[in-house]
């Protein structure tokens, strides 16, 4: 009846059990609160079923923030274990739990924090930057978000019902094969990523079409804001890389579920094929994450330097070059495979070549700042932190691109330090910079600058303390994922790293405080005209927060920094504007239902509940057919309503 799902799946060790019960109680209180104050209906109507990309973006950010806390808790546990587990002492958790913790940390941070936050920012900013009222396929966008959420729900459920994967964040076979990992952990991992991955793929298609088809009149490709270019490149990578992930995960799932032999140790399977396939997705994936972060910085630096971006064209060429080259370097993740000198030399050289366009970007940002009138605001501080850490991490990366050196540091903490430098210094700082920069656009008030600066200094200090020791440890020979080591000489470095992790946590705490304080003191930081930073791109031309339709009158673009040019010419108060009625897509709950049944399908597959697999699949298909065959529905905001909204906003602008 329930496949391999038995009551035993709910039994864990006492510590986990207590955590689960506490979490459930907290969730229960939350749900009661929502119903008691009738908030659930409000959430459903205004948020969950909304097709407004700005709201979907906020939901992405909320989920990503929650998962950041989880990933951070995992990080603290890893650091605590490694700081204490030396010699006779075996630390705070056992080896199996430790494996689950580091698998969880990597999976959460890459798939649900970094991807989620970037999709959030892209959803909020991109349609406005291209001067559009919406994305190309609003309903598809909502489906993408809910599939992402389905993935989040599944992977978190694995802790409560069953266990988390203990095969690392990329689940290399043969360890992740049934023979060595008979539990449900790896299945949860596979299906959670399958569902979230399909969501990402759909998002990729959606944004490419949005950029190519929905730009404001006059905005030619070379007049697009650079962030839009970075998203176009990143989303092209999504559409070409994520199918590989889907195929690879499906193969692993088939191996585990119906007994195929793709990656098994016997029967002619080939485990190295998995490693090749997963990195053929995985390397583009890191550029999927970093390119939008590059885009964010390319928006911030010109604004806070008071200059136009240096070398716009070379920036675009660099982005496109990185996009193409990112598919030619995957083998550098496993030079030790033994592919031979020629193959390793090719991938080593390609890896060095890809650092050239990245270097071009670094110089462009620096030249943008050169002789600019720099305002050292929080977004700009995140940028400066980024440029230093990212360059150091990049140099470490080029070092490892030499196969002979890579053989020495392969799978060591040197590598762990390298990619954390790139992802924290690059992606995470980029997300924070973008969040601080665009926050006032969507709330109408800026974030507290002082607390933002404190948060930055805590982060950068903690970051250095946490990862510089790892570079040294890696060179000393410490491999990654050690739950125990004997050399007492390493312990000091691990303790410093642990202190660094705690300081990073303090930084996150400071950011939470910053948001709360900023909301409480919002009156002091109101953004009156919607343009707090003296911005250059179109999104700053609307009021803050922008109306659902973004632009009452679709702007006509003549220049690259269009809004800057408009301001230079002098903003003319347009009188006698004739407003037109605007169609906005009606709320829809299809996304939620598709995600619920797709996740149910995945859950049934994980636990081998055959009847539920069939039922959930049929219901999902029926919902999709029903969705595709119904007639399109739009709400229309009449011209009169648009005029009222615009006049009210105008009034606020004048009297606030």
Partner 1 sequence: MSQTPETQQAKAAFIASKVGLGFWIYLMTDLVLFASLFATFAVLRNNTFGGPGGPQIFNLPYVLVETIILLTSSFTAGLVTISVSRANKRLALVFLAITFVLGLSFVAMELSEFSHLIHDGNSWTRSGFLTAFFTLVGTHGLHISIGLLWMLVMGYRIFKKGLTVNTIRQVTLLSMFWHFLDIVWIFIFSIVYMIGVL
Which position has the token pair 């050196």? 405
Closest CA to 288 of 324, 246, 237: 237
Q: For partner 1, give the closer residue by CB, 342 or 631.
A: 631
Burial 610-621 (b: 16+ CB within 10 A, else e): eebbeebbebbe
Determine contact, residues 106/78, Cβ cutoff 8 Å. no
Whole-number Å distance between alpha carbons of 52 and 637: 14
CB 262 → partner 1: shortest distance, Å? 6
Q: For partner 1, give the closer residue by CB, 86 or 202.
A: 202
Whole-number Å distance between alpha carbons of 230 and 216: 18
Closest CA to 169 of 116, 118, 111: 111
CB 204 → partner 1: shortest distance, Å? 8
The beta strands (E) that lie in 42-138 are given as none
Determine contact, residues 500/471, Cβ cutoff 8 Å. no
Q: For partner 1, give the closer residue by CB, 161 or 209.
A: 209
CB 407 → partner 1: shortest distance, Å? 24
Q: For partner 1, give the closer residue by CB, 255 or 406.
A: 255
CB 63 → partner 1: shortest distance, Å? 24
CB 560 → partner 1: shortest distance, Å? 25
Q: For partner 1, give the closer residue by CB, 258 or 654.
A: 258
CB 234 → partner 1: shortest distance, Å? 14
The beta strands (E) that lie in 330-461 are given as none
Backbone torsions φ then ψ of 60, nearest 5 degrees? -55, -45
Burial 510-525 (b: 16+ CB within 10 A, else e): bbeebbeebeeebeeb
Q: For partner 1, give the closer residue by CB, 247 or 553.
A: 247
The alpha carbon of 556 is separated from its chain's Cα centroid by a whole number of angstroms, namely 32
Radius of gyration of the chain (CA): 25
CB 469 → partner 1: shortest distance, Å? 39
Q: For partner 1, give the closer residue by CB, 142 or 248.
A: 248
Whole-number Å distance between alpha carbons of 277 and 170: 11
Whole-number Å distance between alpha carbons of 66 and 73: 11
CB 224 → partner 1: shortest distance, Å? 17
Burial 324-337 (b: 16+ CB within 10 A, else e): ebbbebbbbbbbee
Give the ranges where 162-307 is alpha helix by DSSP (H).
185-213, 226-257, 271-305
- The helix/strand/coil state of 651 is helix
Q: For partner 1, give the closer residue by CB, 8 or 266.
A: 266
CB 575 → partner 1: shortest distance, Å? 24
The alpha carbon of 561 is separated from its chain's Cα centroid by a whole number of angstroms, namely 27
Whole-number Å distance between alpha carbons of 345 and 536: 44
- Which pair of tokens denotes residue 353? 């070549």
Whole-number Å distance between alpha carbons of 245 and 288: 13
C-alpha atoms less than 13 angstroms from C-alpha of 190 in its C-beta half-sphere: 28
CB 120 → partner 1: shortest distance, Å? 22
CB 238 → partner 1: shortest distance, Å? 9
CB 396 → partner 1: shortest distance, Å? 31
Q: For partner 1, give the closer residue by CB, 238 or 381.
A: 238
Whole-number Å distance between alpha carbons of 637 and 583: 6
CB 267 → partner 1: shortest distance, Å? 5
Contacting residues toward partner 1, per CB under 8 A:
136-137, 201, 204-206, 208-209, 212-214, 239-240, 242-244, 246-248, 251, 254, 258-262, 264, 266-270, 273, 277, 280, 581, 621, 625, 628-629, 631-632, 636, 638
CB 229 → partner 1: shortest distance, Å? 17
Q: For partner 1, give the closer residue by CB, 272 or 517.
A: 272
Which position has the token pair 């250095």? 464
> Which residues have CB under 8 Å from 606's CB, separation 6+?
162, 184, 187, 188, 191
Closest CA to 194 of 145, 150, 138, 140: 150
Q: For partner 1, give the closer residue by CB, 270 or 559.
A: 270
Q: For partner 1, give the closer residue by CB, 240 or 419.
A: 240
Q: For partner 1, give the closer residue by CB, 353 or 639.
A: 639
Three-state SS sequence of 612-644 = HHHHHHHHHHHHHHHHHHCCCCEEEECHHHHHH
Q: For partner 1, give the closer residue by CB, 524 or 636.
A: 636
Give the chain's length.
Answer: 656
CB 266 → partner 1: shortest distance, Å? 8
CB 278 → partner 1: shortest distance, Å? 11
Whole-number Å distance between alpha carbons of 598 and 620: 6
Which neighbouring-strand residues pair with 582? 637
Q: For partner 1, give the closer residue by CB, 240 or 346.
A: 240
Cα angle 68, 79, 12 (rounded to 5 degrees) comes to 75
Q: For partner 1, give the closer residue by CB, 254 or 565.
A: 254
């Amino acid at each position: 009846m329930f496949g391999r799902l038995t009551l035993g799946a709910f039994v864990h060790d006492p510590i986990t059990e207590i955590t689960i019960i506490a979490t459930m109680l907290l969730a229960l209180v939350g749900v009661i609160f929502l119903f008691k104050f009738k908030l659930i209906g409000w959430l459903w109507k205004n948020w969950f079923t909304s097709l407004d990309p700005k709201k979907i973006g906020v939901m992405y950010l909320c989920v990503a923030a929650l998962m950041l806390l989880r990933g951070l808790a995992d990080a603290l546990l890893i650091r605590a274990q490694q700081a204490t587990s030396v010699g006779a002492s075996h630390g705070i958790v056992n080896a199996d739990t430790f494996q689950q913790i580091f698998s969880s940390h990597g999976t959460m941070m890459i798939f649900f924090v970094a991807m989620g936050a970037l999709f959030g920012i892209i959803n909020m900013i991109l349609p406005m930057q291209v001067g559009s009222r919406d994305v190309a396929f609003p309903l598809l966008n909502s489906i993408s978000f809910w599939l992402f959420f389905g993935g989040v729900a599944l992977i978190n459920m694995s802790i409560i019902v069953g266990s988390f994967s203990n095969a690392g964040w990329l689940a290399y076979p043969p360890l992740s094969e049934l023979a060595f990992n008979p539990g449900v952990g790896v299945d949860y991992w596979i299906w959670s990523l399958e569902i979230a991955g399909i969501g990402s793929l759909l998002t990729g298609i959606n944004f490419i079409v949005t950029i190519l088809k929905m730009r404001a009149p006059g905005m030619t490709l070379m007049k697009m804001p650079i962030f839009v270019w970075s998203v176009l490149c990143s989303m092209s990578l999504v559409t070409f890389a994520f199918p590989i992930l889907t195929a690879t995960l499906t193969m692993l799932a088939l191996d585990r579920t119906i007994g195929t032999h793709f990656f098994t140790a016997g029967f002619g399977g080939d485990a190295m094929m998995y490693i090749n396939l997963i990195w053929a997705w995985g390397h583009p994936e890191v550029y999927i994450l970093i390119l939008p972060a590059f885009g964010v910085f390319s928006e911030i630096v010109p604004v806070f330097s008071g200059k136009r971006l240096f070398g716009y064209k070379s920036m675009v060429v660099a982005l496109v070059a990185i996009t193409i080259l990112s598919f030619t370097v995957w083998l550098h993740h496993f030079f030790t495979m033994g592919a031979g000198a020629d193959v390793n030399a090719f991938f080593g050289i390609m890896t060095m070549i890809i650092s050239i366009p990245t270097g071009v970007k670094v110089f462009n940002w620096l030249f943008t700042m050169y002789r600019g009138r720099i305002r050292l605001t929080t977004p700009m501080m995140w940028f400066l932190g980024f440029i230093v850490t990212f360059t150091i991490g990049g140099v470490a990366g080029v070092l490892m691109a030499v196969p002979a050196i890579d053989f020495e540091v392969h799978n060591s903490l040197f590598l762990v330090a390298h990619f954390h430098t790139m992802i924290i210094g690059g992606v995470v700082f980029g997300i924070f910079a973008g969040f601080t920069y665009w926050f006032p656009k969507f709330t109408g008030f800026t974030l507290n600058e002082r607390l933002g600066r404190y948060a930055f200094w805590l982060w950068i200090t903690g970051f250095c303390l946490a990862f510089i020791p790892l570079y040294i440890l890696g060179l000393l020979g410490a491999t990654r994922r050690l739950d125990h080591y004997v050399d007492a000489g390493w312990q000091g470095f691990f303790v410093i790293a642990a202190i660094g992790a705690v300081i990073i946590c303090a930084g996150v705490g400071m950011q939470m405080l910053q948001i709360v304080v900023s909301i409480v003191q919002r009156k002091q930081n109101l953004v009156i005209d919607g343009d707090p930073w003296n911005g250059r791109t179109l999104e700053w031309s609307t009021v803050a927060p922008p109306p659902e339709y973004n632009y009452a009158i679709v702007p006509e673009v003549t220049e690259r920094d269009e809004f800057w040019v408009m301001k230079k010419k002098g903003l003319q108060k347009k009188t006698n504007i004739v407003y037109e009625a605007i169609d906005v897509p009606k709320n829809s709950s299809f996304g939620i239902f598709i995600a619920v049944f797709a996740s149910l399908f995945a859950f049934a597959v994980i636990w081998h509940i055959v009847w539920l697999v069939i039922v959930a699949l049929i219901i999902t298909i029926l919902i999709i057919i029903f969705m595709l065959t119904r007639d399109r529905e739009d709400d229309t905001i009449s011209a009169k309503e648009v005029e009222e909204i615009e006049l009210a906003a105008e009034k606020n602008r004048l009297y606030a």
